[in-house]
Structure 1
Amino acid sequence: MKVIRSLWWAATIPGYEAPFDTAHLRVYYPARPDGSDRERLSGVMAADADGAPYPVAVIVSGVNVGQEAYRWLAVRLAEQGVVAVTYDWVGTLFGGLHGITPGVDLDAARPDGYGKRPTTPSLRPVLDALAAMTGPTAGLLDLNKVALIGHSAGGTVALQSASFVPEVKAVATYGAHTMVATMLGWPAGTVLPAQADCPVLLVAGTNDGVINGSADRYGEDAATRRDPITRTFDEALPDRGGDNALVRLAGANHFAIVHPVDHTAARAFLDQPADGDPAAHRELLADLLGTFCRMHLTGDQAAYTEWDKLAEHGGVASIQRR
């Protein structure tokens, strides 16, 4: 089994006042222990240069979900040869509160602003910080081959922002869509087109209670409204000849991508119970996300074969491609 280690770094988010202008990053990478005194005394292991240059996946968190909740996924991605990056940015949330945020520029999500700039200001500073990072991964990251993996609101801003970051070659989300709240000035039931000039994977659990618990903000009639994630796949994404996909995980809920779930924050209280083993849901999710990244970041032909096998997995309730 590969040895995975991690490093910390920081990024300044321009335009925000201290102390709410800093994102703290953690970078997970395949390591090569050498047993040296330097390693023993510092706790820092060299990166395994044989797999370099490594593609990068940036995990964009949901609101008030700390980066430690995605550590399990970051490790699994690094085991598959994709350096994974998580980050915590404590900034302003809705209503003037503060908390962990992927960063949401509300003006960029309004009718007169959408399409002019990313709806999250965090992506460029995070990638620039990675380019300047010193230590074991310096010179070993391929920052022209980046995937965004977003959960919940983090997935929404990833879908709305990727095309403004040309290094992004793939976007994958869990429990996310591009329906937009009427409070921002949009007509009821509006699905915004994704701003992602690359393959997109939408993953959703069949037991997602948070999506349902938030649906009234989109102004639709509860008796006739359709699932926002399905509508995003049908209306927000172009036909890419099968490179775009919507996968539903049988029995998984909104926080299936999170481990452990922190019930003191975020909105897990809205979620439905999971049917089946949450560890099995995570295992399948990691395989789907890692394989998708390898397909579209490295062109690994074996990944395409693995993807076809995953589509037949018993934990996949349905899969659509376009």
Structure 2
Amino acid sequence: MTVIRSVWWAAAIPGYDQPFDTAHLRVYYPAAPDGSDRERLSGVMAADAADAPFPVAIIVSGVNVGQDAYRWLACSLAERGIVAVTYDWVGTLFGGLHGITPGVDLDAARPDGYGKRPTTPSLRPVIDALRTMTGPLEGLLDLDRVALIGHSAGGTVALQSASFVPEVRAVATYGAHTMVATMLGWPAGTVLPAQADCPVLLVAGTNDGVINGSADRYGEDAATRVDPISRTFAEGLPDRDGGNLLVRLAGANHFAIVHPVDHTAARAFLDQPADGDPEQIRHLLADLLGTFCQAHLRGDGAGLDSVIKRPGIASIQRR
């Protein structure tokens, strides 16, 4: 059994005032315990460098969802030989509130700004900070092979920002789309083209209550509108000869990717109940995201076709 360990790092976010200018990173990796006194006294284990240099997956969180909620997924990715990075950045949210954010540059999401720069300012500082890491992963990261895995708003900004980060080879999202709020100056129901020059995997649950709970933000009626994830797939992504995928998980809700769900924060109160075993849904989701990342970071896509045919997959589309 692979031993997974983690270490911490930090990234300064330029242009933000203290104390809201730092993202705190946690980096998960396959370890090689040696039983040494150094290991016993420090608690830090050496990396298992057999498969190094390691490609990297950066998990971009939803609003007010702490990074520990994605630890289960980070460990699963690390077991596959993909170093997984989560981060907490407490910054400014909509309306002047503060909380955990993937970072949203509102001006970059307005009609006169979209497509000129990333809508999140966090990705470049996080990748640059990883290049400076010391400790067990020093010199063992391949930061020219990066995947973004975004949840909810984190998925939206990943889709809107990936092409500005040339290290990114693949983007996967859960419960995310590129429909844009009318408050930013867009007409109701506008779906923006994704800024992602790489394969994209959109994953959605059939029981997502949070997306419908936000319909008024986009000037729509939740009861009559077309699902914004379907529209993002059809209108916001280019045709990549089957390289882009939309996969729906039967019975999964918006927070199926989160474990445990923290009901003191975020918007889980809007979600629908999940149908089925949440652990089985997470296991399927981990296999789906993991094999997608392996395909595009390691060139090993052999398992992807078998995963998307498994029970629990409600539907799949390719383009």
Q: Structure 1 counterpart of 2:30, which letter?
A: P
Q: Match for 2:78: what amino acid?
A: A
Aligned twin of 1:210:
210
SS in 1 for 2:259: coil
Partner of 2:58: 58
Distance 1:96 1:247, change over 3 A: same
Q: Deviations over 1:177-210 (max 9, x none)?
A: 0000111000111000000000000000000000
* Aligned counterparts of 1:311 and 1:224: Cα–Cα separation in 2: 29
Kindly report which structure 2 residues correspond to 1:135-174, keeping only aligned pairs within 5 A, or say none. Answer: 135-174=135-174
- For residue 217 of structure 1, report the CA deviation from its aligned partner: 1.1
Measure the CA separation in 2 of the matches of 1:191 and 1:99.
Answer: 26
Give 1:221 deviation, angstroms. Answer: 4.2
Residue 171 of structure 2 contacts residue 199 of structure 2 at CA under 8 Å; is this kept in 1? yes
2:91 aligned with 1:88 = no
Deviations 1:48-77 (A, max 9, x none): 110101000000000000000000000000
Partners of 1:93 and 1:219 lie apart in 2 by: 20
Q: Which amino acid aligns with 2:232?
A: T
The 5 Å alignment of 1:1-322 reads 1-300=1-300, 304-322=301-319
- Matched position secondary structure for 2:143: strand
Q: 3-state SS of the aligned residue for 2:311?
A: coil
Task: Quote the RMSD (CA, aligned, Å).
Answer: 0.7
3-state SS of the aligned residue for 1:209?
Answer: coil
Gaps of 5+ in 1: none
SS in 2 for 1:115: coil
Q: Secondary structure at the match of 1:139?
A: coil
CA drift of 1:9 comes to 0.4
SS in 2 for 1:197: coil
Equivalent pairs counted in the alignment come to 319
State the 1:222 CA deviation: 4.3
| In structure 1, distance between residues paired with 2:27 and 2:49 | 15
Give the aligned residue type for 1:119: T
**Structure 1: distance between partners of 2:224 and 2:253:** 22
TM-score, normalised via structure 2 length: 0.99
- 1:10-31 per-position Cα deviation (integer Å, ceiling 9, x unaligned): 0000000000000000000000
Gap regions ≥5 residues in structure 2: none
Q: Which letter does structure 1 place at the counterpart of 2:41? A: L
Q: Partner of 1:305: helix, strand, or coil?
A: coil
What is the TM-score of this pair, normalised by structure 1?
Answer: 0.98
How big is the shift at 1:225? 1.2
Contact 2:169 / 2:296 at 8 angstroms: preserved in 1? yes
AA aligned to 1:108 is A
**Post-superposition offset of 1:215:** 1.1
SS of the equivalent of 1:144 reads: strand
Which stretch shows the higher mean deviation, 157-166 or 305-314? 305-314
Structure 1 residue 224 displacement after superposition? 3.4
Q: In the alignment, residue 287 of structure 2 is paired with which amino acid?
A: D
Q: Indicate the SS of the match to 2:285.
A: helix
2:156–2:176 contact (8 Å) kept in structure 1: yes
How far residue 128 of structure 1 moved from its aligned partner, in angstroms, is 0.4
Aligned mates of 1:308, 1:140 — CA distance in 2: 30
In structure 2, how many angstroms separate the alpha carbons of the residues matched to 1:211 and 1:66?
20
2: CA distance, partners of 1:306 / 1:127: 28
CA separation in 1, counterparts of 2:19 and 2:308?
45
Q: Supply the distance in 2 between the matched residues of 1:60 and 1:182 (Cα, whole angstroms).
A: 24
Partners of 2:227 and 2:295 in 1: CA distance: 28
Structure 1 residue 219, shift from structure 2 partner? 1.1
How far apart are the structure 2 equivalents of 1:176 and 1:279?
21
